[in-house]
Amino acid sequence: MNTTWERAVRRGDVRAVREMLGAGSDVNSRDRHGQTALMLAAHHGYRELVEALVEAGADLNVTAKYNLTALMLAIVAGHVAVARVLVQAGANPGVRGAGAPGFAGKTALDLALARQMTEIYADLQPG
């Protein structure tokens, strides 16, 4: 992920990100930590940016450190609206985290339960 792209994502600058996507930026490129723009936007709670990245074809289920997805990062950061956008777009709530004790073997639902985010429980249920 180039620095201009990463800065725009970290600022939540939807207009700049759309322009860069239109100019050929890779929606699924990764930063030095292995995170995609969707992961960064989800973790920061940038709902409009998450919607734009989903619309641009961002991979919803790519994982980075501890096998966390954008959905899981949104939940960890407490962004229910962003988590809902991701689930409705088809993010897999069954991916299991790895490594760190707080994430190992846990799904998005497990993370939401641990954070008592009751408003998202039904969206994360299997089936």
Q: What are phi and psi of 42, to 5 degrees?
A: -65, -45
Mean pLDDT for 49-54 is 98
Mean of per-residue pLDDT scores for the chain = 93
Predicted local distance difference test score (pLDDT) of residue 89: 97
pLDDT of 19-46, one tens digit each? 999 999 999 999 988 999 999 999 999 9
Range of the domain at 76: 3-124
Q: Are 106 and 97 in contact (CB under 8 A)?
A: yes
Element (H, E) at 94: none
- The answer to whether 94 and 87 are in contact (CB under 8 A) is no
CATH of the domain at 88: 1.25.40.20
- The pLDDT tens digits of the residues spanning 5-26 come to 889 999 999 999 999 999 999 9
Total domains in the fold of the chain: 1
Q: Do 120 and 112 form a contact (C-beta atoms < 8 A)?
A: yes
Per-residue model confidence as pLDDT tens digits over 87-117: 999 999 999 999 888 899 999 999 999 999 9
Q: 127 or 6: whose pLDDT is higher?
A: 6
Predicted structure pTM score: 0.94
